[in-house]
Structure 1
């Protein structure tokens, strides 16, 4: 990259490069040089925007946590509309899976990043935590509206949902496979719950 040439959205370019490195090589191979090589920019450019590599990782984790939590936050507003399974599927599948996958892998190897995310965004904001919190809030509201059984446990259902999501994003071969399996799992969870305990005529 010639000197003096402006690089638009350099932070996002570096974040995207970090995601590529983690997906291809794993978080253990992540370094400032690996990121800038993947991005096709000079190594020093990263340190022109961040004090050190730890600050870069924290900025990445906060950025992606905000993206995931912002997408998930709209779910509770859908209570009482459409179907419960459909709303859960739409909400989960609208969240970009690459940040979910990369954040899950990164936080396993860099657990200290959770504290930095919480310091900026608050509790229950670290990727899957944000999805779990939004799903539990949504399901509790649907329960209040009588659209899922009074005997259901919204927090446990939400935990099961993110457990499935975590398993699938870490192990599935393709994004389309993740989407298909998430849809089947959510539909089965809600249908089976409703089939046993729900009154006829109440949509789920």
Structure 2
């Protein structure tokens, strides 16, 4: 499990290992990991959902991920690209913020981008279609909507369409109201 401090420690170690191997990789972080890194909401996450930016060596990253897993006693898939099946090809750069470089001092081996809150909310709204995932997506969607001062279903729908380029599925749309009502 990663809280913010442990997640930053893992990224720091990952950057150091990449640098020691003469590599530099850019990584886009999504979902719970991006929320943990951007907000002080006391949230934690089990895994780091990330995608290697185009033009960087994903295989080379895997070697360093394994090294950090051994160093910190993590599962081998602590950093994985399972989120890649939910992200569109050719994502627009303006959907991301640069979180930082790791190691944080000196020459970096890793640059981490995080999905912006708007993008995270659109992803969480899409995840509402899968009711078997528990309340974590709904809770995250509520927190992100509040952070973005979104207070009506029309704004949620417009955000969804602006990111996904299509209308929300009726199952997602039917849960938008619960995003705006705490405890629903």
- Alignment TM-score, normalising by the size of structure 2: 0.24
Higher strand content, 1 or 2: 2
- Alignment TM-score, normalising by the size of structure 1: 0.23
Greater radius of gyration (CA)? 1
